[in-house]
Amino acid sequence: MVDVKWIQKRYVNQSVAMYRKEFSTTHPRDIAREARLQRESAKLGLSPAVLRTDHRTFIEMELVPDLTLFDRYGYDVDEMSNEIRSQVYDIVDILYQHGIQYVDITPHNFIEHDGKVWIIDFGHASNRKRLCPYLRTLFNQGYLFAWNADFR
């Protein structure tokens, strides 16, 4: 359930819609890591900015006001244009080049808005160097051949 609130950004006189992700059983350490990695990704221009977190029950972030890739195209990567597919690949590639291994590569975790793809949900992301089998294959292939079935 998307919880939308309009909030005022302090440093620019402009409203941004907020998405609030709530946690009930996740360890505070994991929430802190999730927020930290999303902040790094946001700095790279790949994710909505993290606005606020208590490191315990919620992360508030900018809302991307559009549909996930799943809602647009379903689970079949062939339903997406090459342009959108390569944006997904590039995002994951850039993150890894910056020390973030993002494994939860499902169409639910990408939102397309005005032709740009945003990545969300750093709950399974890490700074691990050693690639999981799916990512090893992905980087060998050099394009998004399929979603990561381990996270379906």
- CA-CA distance, 44 to 101, in Å (whole number)? 14
The region of 5-13, 73-81, 108-116, 142-150 touching ligand ATP under the rule CB under 6 A is 108-116
- CA-CA distance, 33 to 100, in Å (whole number)? 11
Note whether 91 and 65 are within 8 A (CB). no
- CA-CA distance, 142 to 98, in Å (whole number)? 17
Q: Which of 121, 135, 144, 147 binds Mg ion (CB under 5 A)?
A: 121
Tell me if 109 contacts Mg ion by CB under 5 A: yes
Nearest residue to ligand ATP by CB is 123
**x/- map, 74-103, ligand ATP, by CB under 6 A:** ------------------------------
Shortest separation between residue 15's beta carbon and Mg ion, angstroms: 26
Residue 113, phi then psi, degrees to nearest 5: -140, 125
Question: Which residue type does 24 have?
Answer: S
The residues that touch ligand ATP, with contacts defined as CB under 6 A, are 2, 19, 21, 48, 61, 63-64, 68, 104, 108-109, 111, 120-121, 123
